[in-house]
Chain A
Amino acid sequence: MSSFRFARSALRARPSLFSAPVQRRGYAEAVADKIKLSLTLPHQTIYRSTGVTQVNIPAASGDMGVLANHVPSIEQLRPGLVEIVEEGGATKQYFLSGGFAVVQPDSQLSINAVEGYPLEDFSADAIRNQVAEAQKIASGSGSEQDIAEAKIELEVLETLQALVK
């Protein structure tokens, strides 16, 4: 009888032994959690609620990395590079021309951008030509709207130029 009781206490002790590592949340486990990424453009859906490990986004307030269980927030994006660390550890890089990223409470990240393409698809020569063209308009004597548009274009292109080597 007493041995039976002893066995039972041992049984009870065992689950607590197992549950101990779960309560201690280390970095490794946080990374094991996935964040559901939706990255959409008006004409294309790049990610549709796909589980990824980490996403680095160029927010207007500064670059930030988003892991699972990030604090919910709404961030405006600058033109810049979005880096996506997929489950296997492979990274993908997309250049977005600006938009919004919203971290939802249930570990979802929704990114809406107006334009975006993989970084390796850009050609350095084409960028150089367009920068020259935009500079010509920006310093020219066009209407105020044309100059403002050219300046925005220049901002995007210069960021892109710095990234594409």
Chain B
Amino acid sequence: MFSRAVRPAVRAGSAAVTRTAPPNAANFATLREIEGRLKSIKNIEKITNTMKIVASTRLTRAQKAMDESRAYGKTSNTVFEQAETKPLEDSKTLFVVASSDKGLCGGIHSGLTKATRRLLAEYPNADIVILGEKAKAQLSRFASDKILLSFANVCKDIPTFADAQAVADQISLLPTDYSSVKVIYNSFINAQSYEATTLEAYSEEAITQSANISAFEIDDEALASLREYSLANNLFWAMAEGHACEISARRNAMENASKNAGEMINKFQILYNRQRQAAITGELVEIITGATASEDM
């Protein structure tokens, strides 16, 4: 009974072995196989190369948008730096993870997930809001109970302020009042490197209790608007910069993939040629041997 169950597995295993047999074991079958592999690798190279070109054309635009959004966000956050705003002690924190829906861009999403994981260890009672499917899939593996909201289809193209406003609106509708909203995003260092960083937006209470706020004249009514506005600004900054990082990482990933495919193509081409020659030589030997044998007769 047991042996019968095992036999098909053995047969399947032996089939796999013959497939991955060393290249010099057989001649004609592997020649075809190598040709097939070569063709498919060539196609893959074409695809990755096209993706790279698309990413590089999008990169300049994304980078420009990122520069503008960075200036905008920094201008908006100067006031909290000057007022020395800090989150309140022992209060709820909300993490907003600015990721996106698409993969094939290196460690962009897993970097964000790791950063979130580290921060979760620091703030165990924090809640999470996620932008983008990739980070959602990764984070729901170990913190699914903490995820309150998730958005798909954001950060697909260069984000607009309206996108950020819509997200900020949904966040402000959440029942809990968070004294600090930390936006986790990839900050762009240069074309090769990026780093998961946080931006912070504060609650009204945290703003009014900041150390240096007495230096400013402010209307109490304006405070609520300021809070929502600065949250939207931070989200916009994070989304724009995260988008630029993603595009640049995709460009790099696709460049590496094309390079690797090129190397593989070279290797397989040489292997293919060598085998072809060997096969021809073998045939020639057979013909000549046959001819000399029939001459002798």
Q: With an 8 A cutoff between CB atoms, is B233 at the interface?
A: yes
Cα-based distance from A156 to B2 in the complex (angstroms): 81
Q: How far is the CA of A143 from the CA of B160 in the complex (A)?
A: 25
**Interface flag for A65 (CB, 8 Å):** no
In the complex, what residues of B have CB within 8 A of residue A124's CB?
Answer: none
Q: Does any Cβ of A come within 8 Å of B68's Cβ?
A: yes
Contact A112 B71 (CB under 8 A): no
Closest to B76 in A: A112
Given A74-B217, A76-B222, A112-B72 contact (CB < 8 Å): yes
What residues make up the interface of A, taking CB atoms closer than 8 Å to B? 38, 40-45, 48, 60-61, 71-76, 99-100, 102-105, 108, 110-112, 114
Complex Cα gap A45–B236 (Å): 15
Most A C-beta atoms less than 10 A away, residue of B68, B75, B79, B161: B75
**Complex formed: what's the CA distance from A61 to B65 in Å?**
33
| Interface of chain B: mostly helix, strand, loop or mixed | helix
**Nearest chain B residue, comparing its CB with the CB of A38:** B75
By the criterion CB–CB under 8 Å, are A48 and B71 in contact?
yes
A45 partner, pick from B72, B164, B216, B222, beta carbons under 8 A? B72
**Contact among A43, A48, A108, A112 for B233, CB-based, below 8 A:** A112
CB-defined A-B contacts under 8 Å, sample of 12: A38-B75, A44-B68, A48-B71, A74-B218, A75-B222, A76-B225, A99-B229, A100-B225, A102-B78, A104-B82, A110-B79, A114-B161
- Taking the closest CB of chain B, its distance from the CB of A100, in whole angstroms, is 6
A42 engages B72 (CB within 8 Å): yes
Closest residue of chain B to A49 (Cβ to Cβ) is B75
Instruction: Tell me if B226 and A43 are in contact (CB < 8 A).
Output: no
Smallest CB-CB separation from B78: which chain A residue? Answer: A110
Residues of chain A contacted by B215 (CB below 8 angstroms): 72, 105
